[in-house]
Structure 1
């Protein structure tokens, strides 16, 4: 795009006016923006700043007129939409305020001020259930940037609202999530849900986790008082034998889709550069590859992949997988190429365990280490481990390793606890999604 001398001059004047704002020289900044606006009547920064100044003098109509001009010229400008929302809120126009702020959040999901103000409007409209995730998302996005961690990191005009939002979130999430367990408590009593209840308290930060093994660090949800078991005994999984008997059938379909070179994707997702990937995966010989052909990803079935492997899909339907809407199971053919090393890491929750059915195991040094225990894959022989313990995997052989990876429930949870966890994690997921997380 060509830059004309006039636009360059306007940019310089805008920058100078913004510098005056940063220095706290408000009156000078107002004059500078006023002069800019005479030459650039559609300048969004000038219109917004002059609207703020008019609002500060109690000239609400003038502020609204300036913001209306800014919105007409720049309908996707989130600063304008946020300021409009605040002004409408102050004038009691809650529906218009909600519309402006919701649009700002839609355009810029990480706009924490717009989310905070949206929560304020929703609460004022009596919609606390919607306000809480708006507040929660605002707090999380701000704190990721090092803001709203203390009075010193919170702009003074926002401090009362930020503190209110934090109090509302602390009380509201406890109430919402505890309510998910109420039907089960009424049927089975408090004792049956004691471990899950303590897990919820840990998740909400009300109770510190007391890990019996320092190598265990769940990243999301931890149920205490389960036996700390990095690797589980085969006897706890009576369905192993039936799955292992289908190794040849599963292997045939795996080889067919692998040869077709379609449907496989990076297990860790797609990275824009090599630095994040290098923190998780390395290969001293070649490009590191940990690929997967997903049947389920975060609990969502991949219908196209399932259709390509109908016999494997039918087998999966017979297994007691851990099924939590939009969370679990994770089921895939997991491919680790020669020389690739999955670096030490921790999983998200000890409520489910990871099972491997090895399909292709070449000769050489390749293994999975869980909490220091080294496991060697054997074709057609399952094992299960708790991936919240630190674990890593390497393939130092000269060929590719393939296993079927799937999620099953932690065998130490009873049926009531599994039902409770399903309801709780589904509800937490809904809330976090509404919060834009």
Structure 2
């Protein structure tokens, strides 16, 4: 039956029951949901609430039967899967609990309670290495919503498990990431890894970064003790000359793909950031455009683009790029249209530097500013800068600017430190991905 407002009697009964729940009137809510269930035997809200009530009275079998009905009727309902996983865990059915909670997290990666409970089950199964990222992801997702920051922001029934998860993450991440450096420590000694070790402590929040220059603010990983240099001396990059000799060839292939107007994509479209475009890029004349034709993105080679520029790709293969699985290098033709302004921002780590090979530099007001120092691009002449210093770029000319952008190692890192950073960043990436971040 449908009322004149378009809602059904079942909708109204459900709304009444949920209102009782919100008011803490549990007995009345249970009666209302019971009436709803008699009319609609597969109502997911009713089945879940009545299962919780049965569980509260110690009627585990009845609760399990109700949740089983809910799951059969609504296999993708994450609330049902979470409740089913928690109950199966209490009953000691760890395989079933794992399956239900893992499915809930797969369907809703930001579902922090399901992640927390999944971590609990994994730890109970002796899989602490898998439990830690589940706990870590649960904590971060909850705290993004202002929860689990204190006892006051944590539901009382969850507090013991949340506090346990936080302790496990604090000690477990330290042990896990430190173990990634163990082979290098055993081979080269502690002193060779001292700077990277302090960088790990800073990443884990155990040390303050104490930046020597206030303009430097790495967003991800900072190795202290490296010279704080916004722009690097050319002598530190002996491969610049090799790259520069191929400028004409690289420019020719760039012009061909630019003319075809395919393969380019918004550089900012890849930012892991929910901030609006206007906070990163502006243009007072027209639509702002900062496009890129990627050869590598987050360390992954774009084979199709590479095949379209074979001579450029061959040159790139000879360069000592910073290569970290699923992180680096970034290599692209970077296109900035007239009037576009890349607003001040900071990069992620001082372990790698950004190099520009300018390909097309029109006359007019256009430049890159790093740490307050303005740099004018010169076609065919490379420079490298530390993008963890605040930097911005603008093109106030009447034509498009194009540079080849690529990542290289910070030249002040030793070879051993580069190995250590590669291992550490790869491991952190694996952990964060497992945590759903």
TM-score (norm 2): 0.98
Instruction: Determine the C-alpha separation between the residues in 1 that align with 2:417 and 2:385.
Output: 20
> What is residue 436 of structure 1 aligned with on the other side?
436
The residue correspondences of 1:338-417 to structure 2 (distance < 5 A) are 338-417=338-417
Instruction: Determine the C-alpha separation between the residues in 2 that align with 1:241 and 1:3.
Output: 79
Instruction: Determine the C-alpha separation between the residues in 2 that align with 1:41 and 1:3.
Output: 21
The residue correspondences of 1:107-126 to structure 2 (distance < 5 A) are 107-126=107-126
Instruction: Determine the C-alpha separation between the residues in 2 that align with 1:256 and 1:62.
Output: 69
For structure 1, the residue ranges without an aligned partner over 5 or more in a row are none
> What is residue 74 of structure 1 aligned with on the other side?
74
Give 1:28 deviation, angstroms. Answer: 1.1
Is the 8 Å Cα contact of residues 3 and 9 (structure 2) preserved in structure 1?
no
Query: Within the alignment, does 1:97 sit opposite 2:100 as a pair?
Result: no
Instruction: Determine the C-alpha separation between the residues in 2 that align with 1:3 and 1:380.
Output: 74
Instruction: Determine the C-alpha separation between the residues in 2 that align with 1:221 and 1:3.
Output: 59
> What is residue 420 of structure 1 aligned with on the other side?
420
> What is residue 222 of structure 2 aligned with on the other side?
222
The residue correspondences of 1:221-260 to structure 2 (distance < 5 A) are 221-260=221-260
Secondary structure of the 1:110 match is coil
Instruction: Determine the C-alpha separation between the residues in 1 that align with 2:3 and 2:71.
Output: 24
The residue correspondences of 1:13-28 to structure 2 (distance < 5 A) are 13-28=13-28
Secondary structure of the 1:223 match is coil
Is the 8 Å Cα contact of residues 356 and 382 (structure 2) preserved in structure 1?
yes
Query: Within the alignment, does 1:62 sit opposite 2:69 as a pair?
Result: no
Is the 8 Å Cα contact of residues 322 and 409 (structure 2) preserved in structure 1?
yes
Secondary structure of the 1:250 match is helix
Task: Please tell me the root mean square deviation across aligned C-alpha atoms, in Å.
Answer: 1.5
Query: Within the alignment, does 1:144 sit opposite 2:168 as a pair?
Result: no
Is the 8 Å Cα contact of residues 264 and 294 (structure 2) preserved in structure 1?
yes
Instruction: Determine the C-alpha separation between the residues in 2 that align with 1:7 and 1:83.
Output: 28
Number of residue pairs aligned between Structure 1 and Structure 2 = 435
Give 1:374 deviation, angstroms. Answer: 0.2
Instruction: Determine the C-alpha separation between the residues in 1 that align with 2:274 and 2:105.
Output: 31
Give 1:12 deviation, angstroms. Answer: 2.2
> What is residue 127 of structure 2 aligned with on the other side?
127
Moved >4 Å (runs of 4+)? 2-7
Instruction: Determine the C-alpha separation between the residues in 2 that align with 1:22 and 1:209.
Output: 45
Query: Within the alignment, does 1:11 sit opposite 2:18 as a pair?
Result: no
Deviation track 1:27-59 (CA, whole Å, cap 9, x = no partner) reads: 111111111111121111110000000000000
> What is residue 286 of structure 1 aligned with on the other side?
286
- CA gap 1:170/1:306 in 2 versus in 1, 3 angstroms: same
- CA gap 1:178/1:3 in 2 versus in 1, 3 angstroms: farther
TM-score (norm 1): 0.98
> What is residue 213 of structure 1 aligned with on the other side?
213
Deviation track 1:55-98 (CA, whole Å, cap 9, x = no partner) reads: 00000000000000000100000000000000000000000000
Secondary structure of the 1:377 match is coil
Give 1:8 deviation, angstroms. Answer: 2.6
> What is residue 277 of structure 1 aligned with on the other side?
277
> What is residue 186 of structure 2 aligned with on the other side?
186
- CA gap 1:113/1:274 in 2 versus in 1, 3 angstroms: closer
Give 1:14 deviation, angstroms. Answer: 1.3
Instruction: Determine the C-alpha separation between the residues in 2 that align with 1:114 and 1:253.
Output: 50
Give 1:7 deviation, angstroms. Answer: 5.5
Instruction: Determine the C-alpha separation between the residues in 2 that align with 1:4 and 1:156.
Output: 42
Instruction: Determine the C-alpha separation between the residues in 1 that align with 2:19 and 2:297.
Output: 48
